[in-house]
Chains A and B, each alone.
Chain A
């Protein structure tokens, strides 16, 4: 197993947000600022690594017919743990992300990886898969958020202001329509890049 190659797979070839188009709800909703996007990416990645690891360990004792309920219980447990830990130690980010932390449970990237990868592969391979797909998701949502925050608020991380205070920016990009427009252009760009390579 080559980690570099796996990383390339997670970030470019099978990028969950930009190529597989999974997990669109958190991607669109939490990419209104770079801080939110990074927080969402890391929270989802932590849950994904944890659930992949546990599911790969219990795959042989899980009867096929109840595997989805079992996976959901495992995923929901990790999400709730993440939620509690974030509430205690990163309260500001937790407040910003609000309902979207519990909603990681229904992020289809996570159940998708459990179903397509972790239940068929060993512990180490599943953890690596969780890491690379998690990084891919974080990169995807962060790139989208950078574009939106730059155009919509004229800043990055809410701190580095690139336009003078009080000047008007293209507000639409922070609002939902901007999410769809930027995502469309981003997917088009990635498609062109990936097609050229192959």
Chain B
């Protein structure tokens, strides 16, 4: 292949070429960002809605539009669900820092009496085959219907009522921690609200 002569590496050439290419790159990125923006936001909303639907009884409002946050519980989100304007429960997006591989994010559903309804694991970095068993029904369904004012949300090793996952005590603890925080936050918000 015949080689055309390359531009010499003078300061001026380098400056102009780098600027031109970076500008072209920025334009391409800006365009892609705008084009995909709506689809990406839809995905985020859909993901939250799917999780809320899974952890709460049937509802027909849009919890995503009514979501609120609480002071002292940074980054947590609360999604109130209503059926025909009657509250049926609240989904709480909560997390724990105590996981084996960092943060664990959960969507925890509480019914209108603040009992646990269902829980879904949103994000985690636990060990495959050990810690990720918390997503399995055998562990996660054990929490359904529990009243946390009676049920001690700690693993049995720590004197609680939760059967930890074999070889994943740390994950089990983190899971309980996240649910506990959600419960405390929700009880407090209920106390302050009519």
Please report the C-alpha to C-alpha distance between residue A81 and residue B10 in the assembled complex, in whole angstroms.
31
| Stretch with Cβ within 8 A of B (4 or more), from A41-49, A63-71, A138-146, A190-198 | A63-71
Interface size bucket, A side?
A: 20 to 34
Please report the C-alpha to C-alpha distance between residue A171 and residue B129 in the assembled complex, in whole angstroms.
7
Please report the C-alpha to C-alpha distance between residue A7 and residue B79 in the assembled complex, in whole angstroms.
53
Please report the C-alpha to C-alpha distance between residue A44 and residue B176 in the assembled complex, in whole angstroms.
39
| 8 A Cβ contacts from A61-87 to B | 61-66, 69-70, 73-74, 76-77, 80-81, 84-85, 87
Q: Is the CB of A74 within 8 A of B21?
A: yes
| Stretch with Cβ within 8 A of A (4 or more), from B1-9, B96-104, B108-116, B139-147 | B1-9
Task: List the B residue with the shortest CB-CB distance to A32.
Answer: B128
Q: Is B29 an interface position by the 8 A CB rule?
A: yes
Q: Is B40 an interface position by the 8 A CB rule?
A: yes
Pick the contact of A64 from B4, B6, B21, B28 — CB < 8 Å?
B6
Please report the C-alpha to C-alpha distance between residue A27 and residue B9 in the assembled complex, in whole angstroms.
36
Q: Report the minimum CB–CB distance from A152 to chain B (whole Å).
A: 8
| 8 A Cβ contacts from B7-33 to A | 7-10, 13-14, 17-18, 21-22, 25, 28-29, 32-33
On chain A, the residues within 8 Å of B127 by CB distance are: 175
Please report the C-alpha to C-alpha distance between residue A80 and residue B7 in the assembled complex, in whole angstroms.
28
Q: Is B74 an interface position by the 8 A CB rule?
A: no
Please report the C-alpha to C-alpha distance between residue A61 and residue B129 in the assembled complex, in whole angstroms.
53
Q: Is the CB of B29 within 8 A of A62?
A: no
Q: Is the CB of B36 within 8 A of A88?
A: yes
Q: Is B67 an interface position by the 8 A CB rule?
A: no
On chain A, the residues within 8 Å of B18 by CB distance are: 66, 69-70, 73
Please report the C-alpha to C-alpha distance between residue A104 and residue B3 in the assembled complex, in whole angstroms.
30
On chain B, the residues within 8 Å of A64 by CB distance are: 6, 9
Q: Is the CB of A174 within 8 A of B128?
A: yes
On chain B, the residues within 8 Å of A122 by CB distance are: 1
On chain B, the residues within 8 Å of A77 by CB distance are: 25, 28-29
Q: Is B157 an interface position by the 8 A CB rule?
A: no
Q: Is the CB of B4 within 8 A of A175?
A: no
Q: Is the CB of A65 within 8 A of B14?
A: yes
Given A62-B6, A66-B9, A174-B128, answer yes or no on A87-B28 (Cβ-Cβ < 8 Å).
no
As a 0/1 sequence over residues 33 to 68 of chain B, the CB contacts with chain A under 8 angstroms (1 = contact) are: 100100110010001000000000000000000000
Q: Is A121 an interface position by the 8 A CB rule?
A: yes
5 A-B pairs within 8 Å (CB atoms) are namely: A60-B7, A63-B14, A63-B17, A77-B29, A175-B129
In the complex, besides A60-B7, A62-B7, A74-B25, 7 extra interface pairs with C-beta distance below 8 angstroms are A63-B13, A64-B9, A70-B18, A73-B18, A84-B32, A125-B1, A174-B129
* Chain A residues in the interface with B (C-beta under 8 A): 32, 58-66, 69-70, 73-74, 76-77, 80-81, 84-85, 87-89, 91, 120-122, 125, 171, 174-175
